[in-house]
Amino acid sequence: MDYATKSEFDLLRKKAEAILKNKTQKPNSALTEAELLRAVHELEVFQIELELQNEELKLARGRAEYIAQKYTSLYDFAPIGYFTLSGEGIILDLNLIGSKMLGKERALLKGKSFALFIPENGLSTFNLFLKKTFKSKTKQMSEMLVLGCDEKSIFAQLTAIVEEEHDDHCLLTILDITERKKAESELEEVVKQLNLLNSQKDMFFSIIAHDLKNPFTSIIGHSELLMMEVQSKDYEAVEEIAGVILNSSKRAMDLLFNLMEWAKSQTGRHVYDPTPFFLKDVVSEVFALFDQIAVQKHIKINMDISEEIIISADRNMIATVIRNLVSNALKFAMPGGEIAVYTKASADSLTICVKDNGVGMSPDEIKKLFSADTPITSLGTNNEKGTGLGLILCKEFVEKHRGKIWAESEKDQGSTFYVSLPR
């Protein structure tokens, strides 16, 4: 009973007087003066006791109001969302942070189904989570997307437990873990990049240890043989051996050039410097590098590129891309075959095409063409060796131009490589 206000005390007094009036026993009016004084004293003491109790009740109520206000503030402004849900998932109550998370006023959210704020592809997960909470009567946790302000999703950690006093209600907390998920994703990306760098490092040392060693071994061995043939004046053998030395030297030079370009690209020292230039001039320069190899394999190289085509790109990068594609085409073209370099134009792009009639590739080989994880090192039609580094370098350079590179091929039907550059 609350005696905190005077009006309440007056009401209580009136009730007491009414009860006293209805009593059948009449008070003994024959009281002595001493008894009257004692009665008055007791009444005064009782009045003081009531006043003291009233003050204590006021203090107690003040403390209770303070504690209630304190916990209301903690409830409303805690950094996580608090919800009370019915067994059907209806929002019965929530705090201010919870309403802020869902992007609506608290009054508008009460009576709504919480499932309205779960993306469609996560509804089954949420329903199972809610069902398990009420069935097990134990704390349940789950992570899922929740639709927040402006229909933007947040990653949330949901924790729910059934109320002790109302087993048809559950208390639900929502913790926004979007930043944590973002950090985890970034960490995964860093790990992925580190693994990629590690595989590239392994590939780099593999090239140096094996692929670069082979042409130099060939050069040294055939040079020694050349000296012997010169001494014996077998000039027919000299010409053949000199050709092998020349090809091995070119292969070593190409490999070293690709290694240097790749190293520059990986360390950020390859500066992208676009300038306008005639595409046909660059292709002609590349053809000149491979004239002798084309003659030796009896391969005809055709170019169908207009002299008027001007592109704005990094000249050195595009030259490297075309050089690697033509080198690959020569490597896999059949002796006596043909290579064609031509262009296709559209309103927003120019596509450079390099086609050969060589051995072709399987779909699985095409998938691995531009991957640093699984570089292809197939032998050419004359057992020419390669590293797969050239195509990886091509992909990086084309992407620096915001372009695309891909291949189309069938086994024993040749291959066509496409480089599409935005205009």
- 58-84 residue pLDDT tens: 887 877 776 666 666 666 677 788 999
Question: Computed from CA positions of residues 232, 236, 242, 248, in that sequence, does the dihedral angle turn out positive or negative?
Answer: negative
CB 157 within 8 A of CB 79: no
Residues contacting 332, CB < 8 A, separation 6+: 356, 358, 359, 378, 380, 381, 415
Cα–Cα distance measured from residue 271 to residue 150, given in angstroms and rounded to the nearest whole number: 42
Task: Provide, rounded to the nearest whole percent, the portion of the chain with pLDDT above 70.
Answer: 78
Single out the residue of 403, 248, 202 nearest to residue 322, CA to CA. Answer: 403
Residues 20 and 138 in one domain: no
Residues 275 and 139 in one domain: no
Most confident residue range from 155-159, 370-374, 410-414 = 155-159
Q: Which of 32, 50, 76 is the last residue of a domain?
A: 76
Give the global pTM: 0.48
Name the pLDDT band for 250 (thresholds 50, 70, 90).
confident
- 296-312 residue pLDDT tens: 888 999 999 999 999 99
Domains: count for the chain: 4
**Average pLDDT over every residue of 97-108:** 89
Residue 397 lies in a domain: yes
Residues 40 and 126 in one domain: no
Residues 114 and 59 in one domain: no
CB 145 within 8 A of CB 156: yes
Q: Which of 56, 76, 96 is the last residue of a domain?
A: 76
**Residue 152 structural domain:** 79-176
